[in-house]
Amino acid sequence: GESVGLHLPTLSVQEGDNSIINCAYSNSASDYFIWYKQESGKGPQFIIDIRSNMDKRQGQRVTVLLNKTVKHLSLQIAATQPGDSAVYFCAENRRGGYNKLIFGAGTRLAVHP
Amino acid sequence: DAGVIQSPRHEVTEMGQEVTLRCKPISGHDYLFWYRQTMMRGLELLIYFNNNVPIDDSGMPEDRFSAKMPNASFSTLKIQPSEPRDSAVYFCASSLRGTQETQYFGPGTRLLVL
């Protein structure tokens, strides 16, 4: 996939460390949130999702935290590996006339050995 | 399942030409989405279908863009005439029951309009 944005924020971490990628969303009525990973030349790949009636959800090596009070979403990756290097997008299901997923600009995660 | 299939993977064309992008969603998924990704605007929803019917096309840039879904296993996105500013990666995605479900993306079509 394309590098999204000329000035994508980049998070650099050492292999084995934990990574935390943050995302602010804008619509308090959004009821579903999702994190995607996009590697170069590929489409976005689902990582984990969470509904607005939850504040935490865990997957394999990943945890998503939702703070509706401040409209903040985070993705935590445990024991980051070189294969985790990619651009990560959060998306919110914005409710309106028609529901739609609105994607954030993305954060590039660079994992160094 | 093979996942969402898109073709072609790469397309280079000249300004003014017609471009047709194709998508086969995951079997059994009721929703199909077309997105465009650019460096400047990120990932944008163009249009989506539910059971082959267009639901929201508010993201379609202009009349040069059109999308169809003649059956549950096939959709096209057409640009006529194409312009250099249409250069982008176009993704198709599908989901089982809507925008509150996981959308599975295809590999994308990288379009370059000269």
Q: Between chains, do A42 and B108 touch, taking CB under 8 Å as contact?
A: yes
- The 10s digit of each residue's pLDDT in B76-114 is 999 999 999 999 999 999 999 888 889 999 999 999 999
pLDDT at A5: 41
Q: How many CB atoms lie within 10 A of CB A79?
A: 11
* B108 and A CB contact within 8 Å: yes
Which amino acid, one-letter code, is at B1?
A: D
- Measured distance CA(B114)–CA(B108) in Å, rounded: 19
Q: How confident is the model at residue B1 (pLDDT cuts 50, 70, 90)?
A: low
- Measured distance CA(B35)–CA(A42) in Å, rounded: 14
- The 10s digit of each residue's pLDDT in B18-61 is 999 999 999 999 999 999 999 888 999 999 999 999 999 999 98
Q: Between chains, do B107 and A104 touch, taking CB under 8 Å as contact?
A: no
Q: Regarding beta strands B88-95 and A107-112, do their DSSP bridges make them parallel or antiparallel, or are they unpaired?
A: unpaired
In chain B, which among 5-34 make CB contacts under 8 A with chain A? 33
B90 exposure class (CB count in 10 Å sphere: 0-12, 13-18, 19+):
buried
Lowest-confidence pick of A95-104, B51-60, B66-75: A95-104
pLDDT at B109: 98
